Amino acid sequence: MTATVTHSGTLVLVLAVFLACAVESVEALTIVLAVGVTRGWRTALEGVVAALAVLAALVGALGPALVHLVPLTTLRLVIGGLLLIFGLQWLRKAVLRAAGLKARHDEDAIFAEQVEELSTGAPAGGRDTTGFVVAFKGVFLEGMEVVVIVLTLGSTSHALGTAALSAAAAVVVVTVAGLVVARQLSAVPENAMKMAVGLMLVSFGTFWSGESVGVHWPGSDLAIPVLVGFYGLVAWALVTWMSRPRPVPRVAGDPPGRGDPVAPLTGGSHG
Amino acid sequence: MADAGPQPTEGDDTAGPRPWAGRAVVAFGHFWWDFLIGDTPELFVGVLAVLGLVAAACLDHRLRTAAAFASPVLVALLLTGSVWWAGRRRRT
C-alpha cells in the first residue's frame, strides 16, 4: 500500500516535470532554430550550452541547499504556495486559450518574427554576440521556469535526482523531435500540455501547502492523483462554460430576435 | 507616491550607468514580480487568503480532515473567479 502511494506521487511528479520541461523546451527550441538558421549553428549551440551550464549550476547549487538547510514543513508551505500561484497562472492561461479567449502560442509566427529580426545586420565574420545572446536568453529564460519547477517539486518530495532526470529526458525528446520536424513546432499540442502541467502543479501545491499547515489528507499521498482529477473536472467545466456563445445585450429599438451569439475572441498576447 | 528625487535627464552627465550589482538586484526583483504577480495579482492575493483560511481552520484539530475537502474547493473558486474576470474583460 505504502509503495503504491509513493509510486503514484512519484509518477505525477515525473509527469509534471517532464511536461513542463517539454513545453518550455519547445519555446526555447523555436528561438534556437531561428538563431541557427539566420546567424549560424555554432553561435546558436554556444548560446545553448552556456545557458544549460548556468541552469545546471543553479540546480546543483540551490537544490541540496534547500533540502538540507530548510525545515521540511517550511519548505512545503513556501513551495506549496509558489506552486499554487504558478500552477493557477498556467491553468488560467490554458483554460482561456482552450475557450478561445486568448490567442494560442503560435511557434510558426514566433519563428518567422525571430528570423526577420535576426536577419537584419547579420555579421560578416568574427564573433556573433547578438546571435549568442539571443540563443542564451531564449534557453536561459525558458529554462528558469523549469529550474523552479525541478527545484520545488524535487526538493519537497526528496526526489531532486528523479526530477532533474525527467527534465533532462524532456529536453532530449523535444530536441530530437524538433530536429526531425524542424520548423513544425506549431504541431506540438502545447496548450494541452500546459493544461496538464497546470493541473499537476496546482495539485502538488494544494497538497503540500495543506500538509504544512496541518491538513489531514485522506489516503495520504494518494490524494494527489485525486486532486489532479478534481482540478481536471473544474478546468473542463470552466472551458465549457467560457466557450459557450453569449447573446449580445439587446439595444433599445432593435427588432426582437437580435440576440446573436458573440464569437469567442482570439486576440491576445503570446506567453 | 513619495517624490523619488531628481530624475536623470537626457544628456545629464551626472547620471552614470547603474552598477552591475544594482542592475542584478532590479532584474531579480522584476523576475520574481513577474513570476508571482505579473498580470494576475488576484491569484497571488487569493492563494495567500486560501492558505490563511486553511491554516486558521487547522488550528482546530477537528477541522483538519474537513480542510482537506475545503481547500481544493477554495482553490477551484479562486481559479473560477480569475477566469471569469479575464473572460469578462476580454469580451468587453
Domain spans of chain B? 39-91
Cβ A57 vs Cβ A171: under 8 Å: no
> What is the overall mean pLDDT for chain A?
77
Query: Does A214 sit within 8 Å of B55, measured CB to CB?
Result: yes
Backbone φ, ψ for residue A259 (5° rounding):
-40, 60
> Do A117 and A263 touch, CB atoms closer than 8 A?
no
Instruction: Outline where DSSP puts E strands in B1-92.
Output: none
Residue corresponding to grid cell 531628481: B6
pLDDT top residue among A212 and A3:
A212
pLDDT tens sequence across A233-248 = 999 999 999 888 766 5
Q: Cβ contacts of residue A225 below 8 Å, gap of 6+?
A: A8, A12, A203
Residues 6+ apart with CB under 8 A from A269: A103
* Total beta-carbon pairs less than 8 A apart between chain A and chain B: 103
Give how far the C-alpha of residue A57 lies from the chain's centroid of Cα atoms, to the nearest Å.
21
Contact predicate A95/A242, CB 8 Å: yes
By the CB < 8 Å criterion, does B65 face chain A? yes
Residues A207, A57 contacting (CB under 8 angstroms)? no
Cell 481552520, residue located? B57
| The pLDDT of residue B80 | 96
The grid coordinates of residue A134 equal 539571443
Let me know: does A16 contact A149? Beta carbons within 8 Å.
yes
Contact check, Cβ <8 Å, A216/B38 = no
**What is the structure's pLDDT at A257?**
45
Q: Do residues B66 and B57 lie in contact, with contact meaning Cβ atoms separated by under 8 Å?
A: yes
pLDDT band, very low/low/confident/very high, at A264 (cuts 50, 70, 90): very low
Does residue A76 or residue B16 have the better pLDDT?
A76
Of residues A254 and A85, the one with the higher pLDDT is A85
Name every residue whose Cβ is closer than 8 Å to that of residue A263 and which is 6 or more positions away in sequence.
A245
Strand partners, A234: none
- Among the residue ranges A16-30, A116-130, A236-250, the one predicted with the least confidence is A116-130
pLDDT tens for A178-226 read: 777 655 565 667 778 788 888 988 998 999 899 899 999 998 878 988 9
Reading the block at residue A225, the C-alpha cell is 492523483
Between A162-166, A211-215, A241-245, B5-9, the lowest mean confidence (pLDDT) is in B5-9
Task: Give A260's contacts in chain B (Cβ within 8 Å).
Answer: none
Q: What is the Cα–Cα distance from A24 to A52, expressed in whole angstroms?
A: 13
pLDDT value of residue B1: 37
A265 falls in which pLDDT band (50, 70, 90)? Answer: very low
Model confidence band, residue A270 (pLDDT cutoffs 50, 70, 90): very low
With a cut of 70, say whether residue B4 has pLDDT above it: no
Instruction: Tell which wins on pLDDT, B22 or A215.
Output: A215
Distances (CA, A) of A245 to A103, A111, A192, A239, B87: 17, 33, 22, 12, 12
Distance from CA of B87 to the nearest CA of A (A): 7
Q: Pick from B55, B68, B79: which is nearest to A91 by CB?
A: B79
List the single best residue of B79, B80, B82, B92 to mutate versus A (max A Cβ within 10 A).
B79
Judge whether residue A103 has pLDDT over 80: no
Identify the pLDDT of residue B2. Answer: 39
What is the rounded distance in angstroms from the CA atom of residue A264 to the CA atom of residue A97? Answer: 10
- What does the pLDDT average to over A155-181? 80
